[in-house]
């Protein structure tokens, strides 16, 4: 079976984890944590990094530090992984869905502009599948209306918008280090930002809102969203290979795109002139009536794939009669192909052959 994903774990990961365990600093104090926060935030072009136990709570932490709560609205693309939306719901605020851009698949800035109200507290962009959102118009909108722009960068470590890495282009951004993300700590996340006060608020809320100087004195309702030193030890080793992982992903995407280019009826993953994608997943679009059959055909050839996310507004807890035609079309058309860093050229060619065989068969019938 060629899997969709498999993390790249080597000797450095094993020895760092063993070292952290031997040190007995296995909870949320220890030298790897500081190294990982400093190393990753600087990789993301941000001054501050606050490591968390996953990428869902790191989004929640940003919203909580921003003071988002009941009565507030947060603009979010409906076409995203569910965590982006749930994190808004945790605060008691209302997620306000926007449609996606048909070319780059991320939040459509003009639809976001149309959804701004007096209650809008933040705009959350999501850099899906490794491709940055169109930040320019969104940041301008945020400045104009005095609304915070935050980034769910869980799938886009190292992706660039106009030559700048995503994460801290707005007020703050969230990364995930789940096992299938660009780099992993098993489970893990991080908030990055440039504002020292905001970083301090996130750090305070992450650690139960405890006073830095007075033991067991808590002045806000905080959370335990801390990362362990063992996870950070894994992260420090992963960070040393992040450039290699991104290079591998760009090589994989280039080979797929070259080989799939002449097949009728496929849309290949975008890379806008203002973007440098890290191709977390190499994704293609096909006619929705063929999508599941193509996935089944590949499965018969021992090739694992994933469908795109269901847009959030089509799921039971966020159901609405509002329509988001682009998001609905993407959700019904998209397939993630095997995209792990160690994927070989021969395996890519095998996937392409499977896609080609199916599409030619369909064209004949």
Ligand X SMILES: *Cc1c(COP(=O)(O)O)cnc(C)c1O
Catalytic residue set: 181
Among residues 203, 200, 206, 204, the alpha carbon closest in space to that of 224 is found at 206
How far is the CA of 14 from the CAs of 8, 167, 223, 237, 245, in angstroms?
Answer: 12, 28, 30, 9, 18
DSSP 223-270: -B-BPPHHHHHHHHHHHHTHHHHHHHHHHHHHHHHHHHTTSTT-BPPP
Binding mask 260-299 for ligand X (x = CB under 6 A): ----------------------------------------
Provide Rg for the chain, Cα atoms: 21
Range in contact with ligand X (rule: CB under 6 A) among 52-60, 102-110, 227-235, 318-326: 52-60
Cβ-based neighbour number of residue 196 at 10 Å: 10
By CB under 6 A, is residue 190 in contact with ligand X? no
Nearer to ligand X, 5 or 25 (CB): 5
Q: What is the CA 189 to chain-centroid distance, rounded? A: 10
Query: Angle at the Cα of 359 (from 356 to 364), degrees rounded to 5?
Result: 120
Out of 17, 83, 96, 242, point to the residue binding ligand X (CB under 6 A): 83
Q: What is the CA 10 to chain-centroid distance, rounded? A: 23
By CB under 6 A, is residue 41 in contact with ligand X? no
DSSP 218: B
Binding mask 131-160 for ligand X (x = CB under 6 A): ---------------------x-xx-----
Among residues 198, 204, 146, 142, the alpha carbon closest in space to that of 172 is found at 198
Binding mask 308-327 for ligand X (x = CB under 6 A): --------------------
Q: How far is the CB of 59 from ligand X (least distance, A)?
A: 6
By CB under 6 A, is residue 126 in contact with ligand X? yes
Report the SS3 class of residue 162. Answer: coil
By CB under 6 A, is residue 108 in contact with ligand X? no
Out of 16, 28, 41, 56, point to the residue binding ligand X (CB under 6 A): 56
Nearer to ligand X, 31 or 86 (CB): 86
By CB under 6 A, is residue 55 in contact with ligand X? yes
By CB under 6 A, is residue 79 in contact with ligand X? no
Q: Which residue is nearest to ligand X (CB)?
A: 55
Q: How far is the CB of 184 from ligand X (least distance, A)?
A: 9
By CB under 6 A, is residue 106 in contact with ligand X? no
Contacting residues toward ligand X, per CB under 6 A? 54-56, 80-81, 83-84, 126, 152, 154-155, 176, 178, 189
């Amino acid at each position: 079976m060629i899997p969709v994903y498999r993390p790249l774990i080597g000797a450095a990961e094993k020895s760092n984890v063993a070292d952290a365990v031997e040190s007995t600093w296995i909870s949320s104090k220890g030298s790897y944590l500081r190294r990982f926060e400093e190393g990753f935030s600087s990789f993301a072009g941000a001054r501050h990094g606050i490591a968390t136990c996953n990428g869902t709570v790191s989004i929640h932490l940003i919203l909580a530090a921003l003071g988002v709560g009941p009565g507030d609205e947060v603009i979010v693309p409906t076409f995203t992984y569910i965590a982006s939306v749930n994190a808004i719901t945790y605060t008691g605020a209302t997620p306000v869905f926007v449609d996606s851009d048909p070319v780059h698949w991320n939040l459509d800035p003009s639809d976001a502009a149309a959804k701004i109200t007096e209650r809008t507290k933040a705009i959350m962009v999501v850099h899906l599948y490794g491709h940055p959102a169109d930040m320019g118009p969104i940041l301008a909108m945020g400045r104009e209306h005095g609304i915070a722009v935050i980034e769910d960068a869980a799938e886009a470590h190292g992706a660039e918008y106009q030559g700048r890495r995503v994460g801290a282009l707005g007020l703050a951004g969230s990364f995930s280090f789940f096992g299938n993300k660009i780099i992993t700590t098993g489970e893990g996340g991080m908030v990055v930002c440039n504002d020292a006060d905001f970083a301090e608020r996130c750090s305070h809320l992450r650690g139960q809102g405890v006073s830095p100087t007075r033991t067991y004195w808590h002045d806000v309702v905080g959370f335990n969203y801390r990362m362990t030193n063992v996870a950070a030890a894994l992260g420090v080793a992963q960070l040393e290979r992040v450039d290699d992982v991104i290079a591998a992903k760009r090589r994989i995407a280039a080979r797929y795109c070259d080989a799939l280019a002449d097949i009728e009826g496929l849309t290949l993953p975008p890379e806008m002139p203002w973007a440098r994608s890290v191709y977390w997943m190499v994704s293609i679009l096909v006619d929705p009536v063929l999508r599941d059959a193509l996935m089944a055909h590949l499965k018969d050839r021992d090739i694992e794939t994933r469908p795109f996310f269901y847009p959030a507004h089509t799921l039971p807890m966020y159901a609405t009669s509002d329509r988001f035609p682009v998001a609905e079309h993407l959700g019904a058309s998209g397939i993630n192909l095997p995209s792990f860093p160690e994927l070989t050229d021969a395996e890519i060619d095998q996937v392409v052959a499977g896609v080609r065989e199916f599409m030619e068969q369909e064209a004949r019938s």
